[in-house]
Amino acid sequence: MLQARHVSISFGGLKAVDDASLAVPAGSITSLIGPNGAGKSTLFGILSGFLEPDAGSVSFLGQEVTGLAPHRICRLGMTRTFQLAQPFAGQTVRENIAVGSHLHRAQRKAALAHAESIALRVGLSGRLDRPARDLTIAGRKRLELARALATEPKLLLLDEVLAGLNPQEVSEMSPVIRSIRDGGVTVLMIEHVMQAVMNLSEHTWVLNNGQLIAEGKPADVTRDPRVIEAYLGRGAAERLRTSGNEAHA
């Protein structure tokens, strides 16, 4: 459904994304993991049209979308959320979601009604008339998700919608994400909460220093020595193995 081929981008001297190729199959929940500063959000920026890559190409539903403006990509059916939730602060939750609903609905009434139904799906029904600025972090993450969902995307790019939530909130959000996929929306999610990655995604990609270093089933990937080293530092896999052996002995 989504394919990135050899995309690279640098900021000054820093190669934030370096020759990364990745694919997201339709109907899946795919995750993108990696340590802080690995370039995950930057890669999202490229996929969604906010950043133009220095090299490489992105195609969505068989169509070349490299360098296309974000709103054009959204209209093709790919919508993103932001790691730092960016609500329309002065507007109510309902009005926030309705902006997404308007993509396919010209009538104000229809958009507001649709926004309500979306709020129900993500658990924001009780806060429809609150100004978005009054929401907690968890509420803002839900709103971010709701707005994106309201555009009725085929592919949803979620940038850490679970970060900053407590364990209970995470366990409330996870079924929401699964139900979105079950509703026919493909999901690509950046996530640090490993438990959620394991639970939710069928396939995961690992980014480190701008490079994709591993992919596969989450359970397999987390055992990959390269991935362990990326997270814990050079030699960590070796140390873990030997300490594991000692424990066995």
Partner 1 sequence: MKTLYAILVLCGAVALLPAFVSSGVVLNLVIMTLYATLLGQAWNILAGFGGQYSFGHAAFFGTGAYASAALQVHFGVNAWLCLPFAIVCGAAVGALVGALSFRYGLRGSYFALVTLAFAEVFRILANSVKFTGGGVGLLVPLKSSALDFQFQGKAGFLYVILALTLAGFLLSWWLKHSRYGAWLTAVRDNEDSAAALGVDAFRVKLQAIVISAGLMAAGGAFYVQYFQYIDPHLAYGPAVSVEALLGPIVGGLGTVFGPLLGAAALKLLGELTRNLMGDAPGVSLMIYGAVLIAMVTFLPRGIGGLFQRLAAKAP
One residue of 66, 83, 101, 151 binding ligand ATP per CB under 6 A:
83
In the list ligand ATP, partner 1, Mg ion, none, the entry touching 95 (Cβ below 5 to 8 angstroms by class) is: partner 1
> Binding of ligand ATP at residue 230 (CB under 6 A)?
no
One residue of 16, 98, 138, 185 binding ligand ATP per CB under 6 A:
16
**Residue 9 in contact with residue 49, Cβ under 8 Å?**
no
Report 27-56 residues binding Mg ion (CB under 5 A): 41
Is 235 in a helix, a strand, or coil?
A: coil
> Binding of ligand ATP at residue 175 (CB under 6 A)?
no
* Separation of alpha carbons 30 and 159, rounded Å: 12
One residue of 41, 66, 81, 208 binding partner 1 per CB under 8 A:
81
Q: What is the DSSP string of 172-194?
A: HHHHHHHHHHHTT-EEEEE---H
One residue of 1, 22, 102, 145 binding partner 1 per CB under 8 A:
102
**Residue 229 in contact with residue 236, Cβ under 8 Å?**
yes
Helices (H), 48-152: 70-76, 93-101, 108-122, 137-150
> Binding of Mg ion at residue 83 (CB under 5 A)?
yes
* Separation of alpha carbons 90 and 78, rounded Å: 26
In the list Mg ion, partner 1, ligand ATP, none, the entry touching 36 (Cβ below 5 to 8 angstroms by class) is: ligand ATP
* Separation of alpha carbons 65 and 176, rounded Å: 29
Which residues, including other chains, have CB under 8 Å from residue 174's CB and lie 6 or more apart? 162, 196, 199, 200
Closest CB to Mg ion among 66 and 83? 83
Q: How far is the CB of 188 from Mg ion (least distance, A)?
A: 13
Closest CB to partner 1 among 135 and 170? 135
Site residues (CB under 8 A) for partner 1?
48, 50, 69-71, 74-75, 79-82, 86-91, 95, 98-100, 102-103, 105-108, 111, 147-148, 150-151
